[in-house]
Structure 1
Amino acid sequence: MTLRILCISFSDINADSRVLRQVKTLAACGTVTTVSYGSAPPGATTHLEVESALPSLPQTPTGVLGLALRRFTTAGSKAPAVQRARELIGAAEYDLVVANEARALPLAHEVAGSAPVLGDMHEWAPEERSHVLAWKLLVKPYMTWVCKTYLPRSAGIITVNESIARLYSERFGCRTEVVRNAGPLRPLEPSPMIDGRIRLVHSGAAVPGRNLEAMIEAVKALDERFSLDLYLVKARDGGKYWETLRAAAGAQDRITFHDAVAPDDLPATLNGYDVGVFSLPPRTTNHALMLPNKFFDFVQARLAIVFSPSPETSRLIQDHQLGAVTQGFTAEDLTRTLSELTEQEVSQFKRNAHTAAPELSSATDESVIRAMVQRLTSPRT
């Protein structure tokens, strides 16, 4: 019998690399109904589109009041996107329900019936945006309640790395497995270096808190060998923050802004550069324990890597000799580390990325999901 799988994600899956890979893997296991913002992603047999204007958290006046009064069951169920998703799902039955991020867990358990729920927590849910005061005061207690209430009831839990998996296991007593944000192995070779040049590149979201200003300031302080190209997804602010970054770069002709590139096309686009760069201060637990998509995109692009310190990324950079780790998180730290790189070192780091690319691809992670689906849906004897 073909498995019927429901995948809930309060994101636009077509712009969400992790969930895109997840849906592709699930589609090899059965028919997949996706519930999300945006249009149908590849691999979906049926798609139920939630209007993008509907928030996935209880941001209405009654919802905010419910959060403030700690009436979490009622408040969570009244989030506009949750209500709409519930209407779209209706009374359909499934053999497995997959919830992406904590905000989808209550709905997943509500509609699952007797089917098992697999929770993909992505990162550490209780502190997703705890650097924002309103989020910290109102949403963090709700997210903690969701985890405490629904994770022990879930048949399977996955997250992005070992450090965060340990947190879930220790705080909520649930067995948590790791599915990294690694992409598929790409048939690329390291691009040749250009004499006298080190081409830096960064890809990601143009949202405050990502320390992008420090990256721009670092490059402005570097010598003429260095250039920086930025492939940034504009935020929902209409591109206002993206424009502030362009203003920060000023007339510096060694810093270039590009349109965002589709996740599938990103490694091939980045392949023409030399060093993938990222510096993120540990303002939240997720920042401190980061292992982001872009790390794996840089590896598949066969780039050297320069990151700020973090247990997960620093370990992989060291183990595979992929590049360098800065001493801290300032523009000065980044400038210092980059200025010490030689063209010969960068070339070797790029070759090391080529060697590590198979191990740091999604093949292992896809096998974890397939094994979990089989285990969770196998008839119990």
Structure 2
Amino acid sequence: MSKTVCIISLTPVTDEPRVLRQSKALADAGWTVIVAGFKGRQAPPPHWRYIEVEHVYETRRLTENLKFDWKRRLSPGSGQFAEDYYWAQAGYDGIYEHIATIENVRCDLAIAHDYFTAPIAARLAKVSGGVYVIDCHEFSFEQYMHDPKWIKRERSWVHAMEKRFLPGASVVTTVCDGIADALKSTYKLAHRPTVVRSTAFYHDLPFRPTGEKIEVLYHGIVSPMRGLEQTIESVKLWNPEYHFVIRGPGPDDYIASLAALAEQHGVTGRVRIDPPVAFNEMVPRANSADIGFFIQPDISLQKRFTLPNKFFEYVQARLALCVGNLPEMARLVKQYDLGVLVPEISPAAIAAQINSLTRARIDSYKQASMKAALELSWQSEAEMMLRAYGIEPVAANVD
């Protein structure tokens, strides 16, 4: 009889790359896979038992809010208060009850994606007689350091939540070395979290020589704090053969503001904003571009240690890379000779690096991505995750 895993992520899970990869590796290893989360744009994979949950917000009276809020304020001194405040927030016990009672889920392994699903996973593991693990996508204690309201209201509670649940997890995994070290140091963990990078599935794509028009691609979530405004402004400084494509989901008003910014700087004809594509289409579509682009401000450990899905998706798409000079990305760019690093987020610095990429250099970096694609793929990285969970990996399939 196969063992059962329940993966819990309060995201649109059918569009969530890390959940999709993780679940596929566990299914291939013979596990029954249950995934609980919000509905995404695409259908769930056939190997899932999918549980769609909703985060229903309830209106409480002011007196009730004050009753719960003191536990948040006192949570730095009490992990129990931190957890009590979590369960007091509208929606979380409803999600747990949906999974454990209505759907009657019992599992050998409950995987929490980040701290805000850890209480659900821990409670589910307890009633199941199983264990819970936490997969940290972020260094959540510093996730929103650009937001003074979050720092004042939420940051100490986030710290208390992670301090309560990370040490009790059977395994903690995270996306890069920098965050692994920060988590171990911040929460005095007995063991360093296992690094399971957000590498993409291997794609067997051809080398595509750079043509007359050179396409610079940003794909992923379209939101502030990703240098998109500065990049659009920089396009007027780019050589005329370069064009910028932004592809991904985002708030309509923010996307409209980017289009207005392109018009303001006179680069409307060289900036294209595309709608998102399905998960399975992201890398093949990206192969039509030439340069994969991503920058982010170095304003916290969370931002400094960024190593996003898109970095590895660009490699699988066989692109040259132009990314921010942040340590985790820079290490791999230099190790595999994948492209160039932007030293700061300014239109001039961005333009200087883009303009330095001649067609010959772009093709050289594309060839480097060709060579690195298998090593920097999920087929290689999945073994790290499975072994961390005490599961024997199956032979990698790169078809």
Per the normalisation by structure 1, the TM-score is 0.91
Q: Which residue of 1 aligns with 2:322?
A: 306
Matches within 5 A, 1:239-318: 239-250=252-263, 252=267, 253-318=269-334
Q: Decide which moves more: 38-47 or 127-136.
A: 38-47
Deviation per CA, 1:343-374, whole angstroms, max 9, x where unpaired?
11111111111111111111122112222333
Q: Which residue of 2 aligns with 1:37?
A: 38
Measure the CA separation in 2 of the matches of 1:66 and 1:217: 45
* Mapped pair 1:134 → 2:149: yes
Q: Aligned to 1:153, what secondary structure does the other structure show?
A: coil
Measure the CA separation in 2 of the matches of 1:302 and 1:256: 21
Deviation per CA, 1:178-221, whole angstroms, max 9, x where unpaired?
111111110101212113x3221111212111111011111122
Match of residue 81, structure 1, among 91, 114, 132: 91
Deviation per CA, 1:78-113, whole angstroms, max 9, x where unpaired?
233312211112354221111111111122112211
Contact (CA 8 Å) 1:38, 1:52: kept in 2 or not? no
* Mapped pair 1:46 → 2:49: yes
Contact (CA 8 Å) 1:64, 1:138: kept in 2 or not? no
* Mapped pair 1:168 → 2:168: no
Measure the CA separation in 1 of the matches of 2:150 and 2:26: 32
The aligned amino acid for 1:131 is H
Measure the CA separation in 1 of the matches of 2:331 and 2:281: 27
Q: Which residue of 2 aligns with 1:12?
A: 12
Measure the CA separation in 2 of the matches of 1:52 and 1:90: 16
5+ residue gaps, structure 1: 377-381
In the TM superposition, what is the alpha-carbon distance from 1:8 to its structure 2 partner?
0.9
In the TM superposition, what is the alpha-carbon distance from 1:17 to its structure 2 partner?
0.7
The aligned amino acid for 1:243 is A
Q: Which residue of 1 aligns with 2:72?
A: 67
The aligned amino acid for 1:14 is T
In the TM superposition, what is the alpha-carbon distance from 1:222 to its structure 2 partner?
1.1
Contact (CA 8 Å) 1:231, 1:260: kept in 2 or not? yes
5+ residue gaps, structure 2: 59-63, 76-80, 393-399
Q: Aligned to 1:206, what secondary structure does the other structure show?
A: coil
Deviation per CA, 1:237-276, whole angstroms, max 9, x where unpaired?
xx10010001111152011111111222111111111111
Q: Which residue of 1 aligns with 2:109?
A: 96
Q: Which residue of 2 aligns with 1:185?
A: 202
Measure the CA separation in 2 of the matches of 1:365 and 1:54: 37
Relative distance call for 1:90 and 1:340 in structure 2 (3 A) is: closer
Relative distance call for 1:45 and 1:275 in structure 2 (3 A) is: closer
Relative distance call for 1:61 and 1:283 in structure 2 (3 A) is: farther
Match of residue 122, structure 1, among 137, 151, 165: 137
Q: Which residue of 1 aligns with 2:385?
A: 369
Between Structure 1 and Structure 2, how many residues are aligned? 368
In the TM superposition, what is the alpha-carbon distance from 1:129 to its structure 2 partner?
1.8
Q: Which residue of 2 aligns with 1:379?
A: none
Contact (CA 8 Å) 1:181, 1:292: kept in 2 or not? yes
Q: Decide which moves more: 361-370 or 269-278.
A: 361-370
Relative distance call for 1:98 and 1:364 in structure 2 (3 A) is: same
Relative distance call for 1:78 and 1:48 in structure 2 (3 A) is: farther
In the TM superposition, what is the alpha-carbon distance from 1:230 to its structure 2 partner?
1.1
The aligned amino acid for 1:19 is V
Measure the CA separation in 1 of the matches of 2:15 and 2:384: 23
The aligned amino acid for 1:106 is P
Match of residue 145, structure 1, among 147, 160, 168: 160
Contact (CA 8 Å) 1:275, 1:305: kept in 2 or not? yes
Q: Aligned to 2:221, what secondary structure does the other structure show?
A: strand
- Percent identity, please: 26
Q: Aligned to 1:335, what secondary structure does the other structure show?
A: helix
Measure the CA separation in 2 of the matches of 1:243 and 1:364: 39
Contact (CA 8 Å) 1:35, 1:85: kept in 2 or not? no
Contact (CA 8 Å) 1:191, 1:273: kept in 2 or not? no
The aligned amino acid for 1:326 is V
The aligned amino acid for 2:379 is A
The aligned amino acid for 2:154 is V
Q: Aligned to 1:18, what secondary structure does the other structure show?
A: helix
Relative distance call for 1:12 and 1:214 in structure 2 (3 A) is: same
In the TM superposition, what is the alpha-carbon distance from 1:142 to its structure 2 partner?
1.6
Measure the CA separation in 1 of the matches of 2:367 and 2:344: 26
Contact (CA 8 Å) 2:287, 2:318: kept in 1 or not? yes
* Mapped pair 1:22 → 2:22: yes
Per the normalisation by structure 2, the TM-score is 0.87
Measure the CA separation in 1 of the matches of 2:225 and 2:343: 19
The aligned amino acid for 2:291 is V
Measure the CA separation in 1 of the matches of 2:106 and 2:84: 24
4+ residue stretches of structure 1 with deviation over 6 A?
A: none
